[in-house]
Amino acid sequence: MSTITQIESKAHLESLIKETAIVVCDFYADWCGPCKAIAPFFQKLSETTAGVPSVRFAKVDTQVHRDIAAAYSVSALPTFIVFKDGAVLERIQGADPRKLQQAVARLAGHLLSGGGSSSSNSGGASASGRNNGNSGGANGSWRGAELPRGYTDITDQIEPKGSELLNADDNSGPVKVLFDGAKPSALGDKKGEEAKTKDWVESGEDDQLLLFMPFQSMVKLHTLQLTSLPAKDDDDAPMRPGKIHLYTNKPHNLDFSEADDTPPTQAIELTEKDWNANGTANIGLRFVKFQNITSLVIYVVSGDGDGDKVRLDRVRLVGESGEKREMGKLEKIGDEPGE
């Protein structure tokens, strides 16, 4: 018996995601080479959850069901969409086995934690033991705060090679550690683990940082999650960010004087009460101003306190990727198999 459901209509898919807690759906086309290449891998992943009634794998032929592809804003092939409790939880564009496997691993962690283990329990937004904000499983990406309902972690849309961090201390880790899905070493159990890994960044001469992040695709940002974990028993420890300015759609990083002279897309003031037990601030963005974003600049204008430096351990982006592409692009996918 096949472990994958072939979707026959839009109503069929809607019924499946309504009746099943978690649905992993592959949007493909027969002419698409990458779709064919990853199909065996998708099949193997489906077999890992065989017998679990709350999880189903499905496939949508976008040549046959263009209405379904349009309804879910599928603009590139293959696209994998994970539905949880009837809403889009995660979206993966392209034949990327690693990202797909990580998504399924996060589902496995969710199931093991007690969430979504049966259809009757699919209504709960949080599983027991997740109040600390760590919504990733043992094999999934760590997050310092819960995701807003209906939105996904799109940190993987950041292009690390094009990212740039200004005024970082020489002893800091590389900029890519900010986007790492691993649990920050400062929250680890082993003494001295933090000092060995250097999976954080600190400012250099003063308490300012400028972080430029280009994206792999156009995104919509809903929430910014920042994690900062200065040592509590060190009088000379750096500060957490206090005043932050955000800038969107810049082709490159700003310098500090340019940032000071440019009106921000949004200005943020953080205080001690904004940081949770994981050292994470969950910052809601003015969603209307963060539509169709190709890059983001985070300017830490100053720290919260009287110290000389600021520290960042993780940056997570929450929102939607590849949403609401022009319908002409969707038609192009089906009409030009040579691309």
What does 158-193 look like in DSSP terms, one character per residue? B-GGG-EEESB-TTSPPGGGGG--SPPGGG-SSTTH
pLDDT of residue 325: 37
Query: Is 25 labeled as catalytic in the residue annotation?
Result: no
Q: Are strands 55-61 and 22-28 parallel, antiparallel or unpaired?
A: parallel
pLDDT of residue 196: 56
Asked if 109 and 48 touch (Cβ cutoff 8 Å), the reply is no
pLDDT of residue 37: 93
pLDDT of residue 197: 64
Query: Is 32 labeled as catalytic in the residue annotation?
Result: yes
Residue type, 245: H
Asked if 72 and 87 touch (Cβ cutoff 8 Å), the reply is no
pLDDT of residue 102: 79
Candidate list 32, 74, 77, 296, residue with the active-site label: 32
Buried b (16+ CB within 10 A) or exposed e, 273-312: ebbbebbbbbbebeeeebeebebbbbbbbebbeebebbbb
Buried b (16+ CB within 10 A) or exposed e, 63-92: bebbebbbebbbbbbbbbbbbbbeebbbbb
**Across the strands, what pairs with 82?**
24, 90
In the chain, domain spans: 4-140, 155-321
pLDDT of residue 38: 93
Angle at alpha carbon of residue 199, lines to 196 and 202, rounded to 5°: 105
CATH class of 155-321: mainly beta
Candidate list 17, 24, 29, 35, residue with the active-site label: 35
The C-alpha atoms of residue 198 and residue 290 are separated, in whole angstroms, by 31
What parts of the chain have a pLDDT lower than 50? Answer: 1, 112-140, 190-195, 323-339
DSSP state of 107: H
DSSP state of 156: G
What would the pLDDT profile of 79-117 be if each residue is shown by its tens digit? 999 988 888 888 899 998 888 887 777 765 555 444 443
Residue type, 196: K
Contacts of 37 (CB under 8 A, 6+ apart): 95
The overall pTM is greater than 0.85: no
pLDDT of residue 218: 87
Domain topology for 4-140: Glutaredoxin (3.40.30)
CB-side exposure of 88: number of CA atoms within 13 Å? 20
